[in-house]
């Protein structure tokens, strides 16, 4: 029961959050831009999920078991690549469409659209995870709801802000766009690393202390990111588009 409830909440939460953004006072205009952001992010997410699976399979030995520990070990070896693929899936939509030069832009609007892009990715990833090898634990859905879903949203928000600010600078546009990709990627790796490392190397001998430490480290990264995005969002309120 807890297993089912966790994944139901993990799937419903991004939907509710996206709906709230669409009717909130900070909803981007025109409204169809938000809808197309969700649609395009859904497409890029599906592509990224398949690409990530291919990358993981390439580094997985043929005789390796299909357990969670073995999967975590393979993921650990290509973690930066997987994080980069996920961030690129958001970047191409945000930079290529949602925050395009033809729209009025502000740092706050970049964060809102970035949050939407991240929530869309989290929604589809939660759906796919509920059917994958990581769905066996009754805690997995709740962890995705409380940690993974907010992480994707916050990383999208940070990326959206950086893309908008990159276009406001007279020089170094290319480098600033690279920063908009690599900074969220680096944070993503820092968030994923403790838990994946713990599962990969201490799976059968996992203790409550090791699990607690890994989750605490990941949660610390996420809380720092939340504080940063909130500060950027608040500061953008006094800035004109």
- Judged on CB neighbours under 10 Å (0-12, 13-18, 19+), 205 is exposed
The residue-averaged pLDDT of 15-23 equals 95
Cα torsion 191, 176, 49, 233: sign: positive
The model scores a pTM over 0.75: yes
| Degrees, nearest 5: CA angle 160-108-219 | 65
Cα separation values, 158 from 88, 100, 104, 109, 144, Å: 13, 16, 18, 11, 20
Average pLDDT in the chain: 86
Contact 142, 6 (CB under 8 A): yes
pLDDT given at position 241: 44
Please give the distance of CA 30 from its chain centroid, rounded to a whole number: 25
The residue-averaged pLDDT of 154-179 equals 89
Neighbouring residues of 219: CB distance < 8 A, sequence distance ≥ 6: 147
């Amino acid at each position: 029961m807890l297993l089912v409830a966790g994944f139901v909440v993990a799937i419903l939460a991004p939907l509710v959050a996206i709906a709230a953004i669409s009717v909130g006072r900070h909803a981007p205009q025109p409204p169809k831009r938000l809808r197309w952001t969700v649609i395009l992010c859904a497409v890029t997410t599906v592509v990224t999920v398949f690409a990530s699976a291919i990358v993981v399979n390439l580094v997985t030995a043929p005789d390796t078991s299909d357990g969670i520990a073995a999967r975590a070990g393979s993921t650990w070896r290509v973690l930066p690549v997987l994080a980069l693929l996920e961030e690129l899936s958001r970047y191409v939509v945000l930079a290529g469409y949602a925050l395009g030069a033809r729209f009025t832009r502000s740092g706050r609007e970049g964060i809102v659209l970035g949050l939407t892009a991240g929530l869309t990715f989290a929604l589809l990833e939660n759906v796919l995870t509920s059917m994958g090898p990581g769905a066996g634990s009754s805690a997995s859905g709740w962890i995705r709801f409380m940690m993974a879903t907010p992480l994707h949203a916050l990383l999208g928000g940070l990326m959206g802000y950086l893309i908008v600010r990159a276009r406001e600078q007279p020089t170094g546009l290319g480098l600033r766009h690279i920063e908009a990709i690599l900074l969220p990627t680096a944070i993503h790796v820092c968030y994923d690393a403790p838990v994946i490392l713990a599962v990969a190397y201490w799976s059968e001998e996992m203790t409550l202390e090791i699990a607690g430490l890994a989750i605490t480290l990941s949660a610390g990264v996420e809380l720092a990111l939340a504080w940063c995005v909130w500060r950027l969002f608040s500061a953008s309120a006094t800035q004109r588009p």
